[in-house]
Protein backbone atom coordinates (compact mmCIF):
# COMPACT_ATOMS: atom_id res chain seq x y z
CA UNK A 1 0.00 0.00 0.00
CA UNK A 2 1.41 3.40 -0.98
CA UNK A 3 1.46 6.39 1.36
CA UNK A 4 -1.36 7.92 -0.69
CA UNK A 5 -3.47 4.74 -0.45
CA UNK A 6 -2.98 4.61 3.33
CA UNK A 7 -3.87 8.30 3.65
CA UNK A 8 -7.02 7.95 1.51
CA UNK A 9 -8.09 4.91 3.55
CA UNK A 10 -7.99 7.11 6.67
CA UNK A 11 -4.97 5.25 8.08
CA UNK A 12 -2.83 8.40 8.40
CA UNK A 13 -4.85 10.93 10.43
CA UNK A 14 -1.64 12.61 11.63
CA UNK A 15 -0.46 13.26 8.05
CA UNK A 16 -1.46 15.68 5.30
CA UNK A 17 -1.45 15.12 1.56
CA UNK A 18 -0.32 17.74 -0.92
CA UNK A 19 -0.76 17.70 -4.68
CA UNK A 20 1.37 20.25 -6.49
CA UNK A 21 0.94 20.71 -10.24
CA UNK A 22 3.99 20.38 -12.46
CA UNK A 23 3.93 24.17 -12.90
CA UNK A 24 4.48 24.47 -9.13
CA UNK A 25 7.25 21.89 -8.75
CA UNK A 26 9.05 22.36 -12.06
CA UNK A 27 12.75 22.43 -11.23
CA UNK A 28 11.94 22.07 -7.52
CA UNK A 29 13.35 19.37 -5.25
CA UNK A 30 9.81 18.62 -4.00
CA UNK A 31 9.27 16.52 -7.12
CA UNK A 32 12.07 14.23 -5.93
CA UNK A 33 10.35 13.59 -2.56
CA UNK A 34 6.84 12.80 -3.70
CA UNK A 35 4.94 10.41 -5.89
CA UNK A 36 4.80 11.40 -9.54
CA UNK A 37 1.17 11.52 -10.67
CA UNK A 38 -0.39 12.78 -13.91
CA UNK A 39 0.01 16.54 -13.91
CA UNK A 40 2.17 16.87 -10.81
CA UNK A 41 3.58 15.48 -7.59
CA UNK A 42 1.75 14.12 -4.57
CA UNK A 43 3.31 14.08 -1.11
CA UNK A 44 1.99 12.48 2.08
CA UNK A 45 3.91 13.76 5.09
CA UNK A 46 3.45 14.30 8.83
CA UNK A 47 1.09 17.20 9.56
CA UNK A 48 3.51 19.88 10.79
CA UNK A 49 5.98 19.14 8.00
CA UNK A 50 3.19 19.15 5.43
CA UNK A 51 1.83 22.51 6.55
CA UNK A 52 5.34 23.96 6.36
CA UNK A 53 5.94 22.48 2.88
CA UNK A 54 2.55 23.81 1.77
CA UNK A 55 3.39 27.32 2.94
CA UNK A 56 6.84 27.24 1.32
CA UNK A 57 5.47 25.95 -2.00
CA UNK A 58 2.36 28.16 -2.22
CA UNK A 59 3.13 31.19 -0.06
CA UNK A 60 -0.12 30.55 1.85
CA UNK A 61 -0.68 29.35 5.40
CA UNK A 62 -2.38 25.94 5.09
CA UNK A 63 -5.27 26.36 7.54
CA UNK A 64 -5.93 29.92 6.38
CA UNK A 65 -6.17 28.60 2.82
CA UNK A 66 -8.47 25.78 3.98
CA UNK A 67 -10.76 28.28 5.72
CA UNK A 68 -10.93 30.37 2.54
CA UNK A 69 -11.66 27.32 0.36
CA UNK A 70 -14.42 26.05 2.68
CA UNK A 71 -16.66 28.85 1.43
CA UNK A 72 -16.95 27.25 -2.02
CA UNK A 73 -17.90 23.65 -2.66
CA UNK A 74 -16.42 21.80 -5.61
CA UNK A 75 -15.38 18.25 -6.40
CA UNK A 76 -11.86 17.04 -5.76
CA UNK A 77 -10.86 13.73 -7.31
CA UNK A 78 -10.45 10.79 -4.94
CA UNK A 79 -6.77 10.53 -5.91
CA UNK A 80 -6.29 14.22 -4.92
CA UNK A 81 -4.62 14.99 -8.28
CA UNK A 82 -7.52 16.75 -9.98
CA UNK A 83 -10.95 18.17 -9.55
CA UNK A 84 -13.91 20.05 -10.93
CA UNK A 85 -13.66 23.76 -10.28
CA UNK A 86 -17.08 25.28 -9.56
CA UNK A 87 -16.16 28.29 -11.72
CA UNK A 88 -15.97 26.01 -14.78
CA UNK A 89 -19.77 25.78 -15.00
CA UNK A 90 -19.99 29.58 -15.21
CA UNK A 91 -17.43 29.61 -18.02
CA UNK A 92 -19.43 27.01 -19.94
CA UNK A 93 -22.55 29.17 -19.67
CA UNK A 94 -20.71 32.31 -20.81
CA UNK A 95 -18.83 30.56 -23.62
CA UNK A 96 -15.39 31.13 -22.06
CA UNK A 97 -12.79 28.41 -22.49
CA UNK A 98 -10.56 27.89 -19.46
CA UNK A 99 -8.75 24.76 -18.27
CA UNK A 100 -9.65 24.94 -14.57
CA UNK A 101 -6.90 22.58 -13.47
CA UNK A 102 -5.91 22.54 -9.79
CA UNK A 103 -2.54 24.14 -9.11
CA UNK A 104 -2.47 22.52 -5.69
CA UNK A 105 -4.54 20.47 -3.27
CA UNK A 106 -4.15 20.30 0.51
CA UNK A 107 -5.89 17.45 2.34
CA UNK A 108 -6.12 15.90 5.79
CA UNK A 109 -8.09 13.05 7.35
CA UNK A 110 -10.29 13.37 10.41
CA UNK A 111 -11.03 10.25 12.41
CA UNK A 112 -14.60 8.95 12.71
CA UNK A 113 -16.63 10.72 15.38
CA UNK A 114 -20.01 9.12 15.99
CA UNK A 115 -20.93 11.82 18.52
CA UNK A 116 -20.85 14.45 15.77
CA UNK A 117 -22.91 12.22 13.48
CA UNK A 118 -23.62 12.73 9.81
CA UNK A 119 -20.66 12.09 7.55
CA UNK A 120 -18.37 11.93 10.58
CA UNK A 121 -20.40 9.11 12.08
CA UNK A 122 -19.97 7.01 8.94
CA UNK A 123 -16.18 6.77 9.07
CA UNK A 124 -12.94 8.71 8.76
CA UNK A 125 -13.46 11.85 6.67
CA UNK A 126 -11.06 13.21 4.04
CA UNK A 127 -11.08 17.03 3.88
CA UNK A 128 -9.58 18.38 0.65
CA UNK A 129 -9.00 21.97 -0.49
CA UNK A 130 -7.99 22.94 -4.02
CA UNK A 131 -6.73 26.08 -5.73
CA UNK A 132 -7.61 26.30 -9.41
CA UNK A 133 -5.44 28.00 -12.00
CA UNK A 134 -8.34 30.46 -12.47
CA UNK A 135 -7.86 31.64 -8.87
CA UNK A 136 -10.88 29.87 -7.35
CA UNK A 137 -10.33 28.07 -4.04
CA UNK A 138 -12.80 25.29 -3.28
CA UNK A 139 -13.33 22.34 -0.96
CA UNK A 140 -14.72 18.84 -0.82
CA UNK A 141 -15.01 16.12 1.82
CA UNK A 142 -15.95 12.46 1.79
CA UNK A 143 -15.83 9.33 3.89
CA UNK A 144 -12.47 7.59 3.43
CA UNK A 145 -12.73 4.72 1.00
CA UNK A 146 -16.10 5.79 -0.44
CA UNK A 147 -14.72 7.15 -3.73
pLDDT at 92 over 50: no
Alpha helices in 27-108 (DSSP H): 30-33, 47-58, 62-69, 87-94
- CA-based R_g, the chain, Å: 15
Q: How confident is the model at residue 32 (pLDDT cuts 50, 70, 90)?
A: confident
What's the pTM? 0.89
> What confidence tens digit (pLDDT) does each residue in 123-140 have?
999 999 999 989 999 999
Average pLDDT over the chain, rounded to an integer: 88
Amino acid sequence: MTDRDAFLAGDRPDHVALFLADSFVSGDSLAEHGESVPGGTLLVVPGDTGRSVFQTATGMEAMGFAKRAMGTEGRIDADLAGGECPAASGDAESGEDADHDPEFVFAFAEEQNEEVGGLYGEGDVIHAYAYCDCGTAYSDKWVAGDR
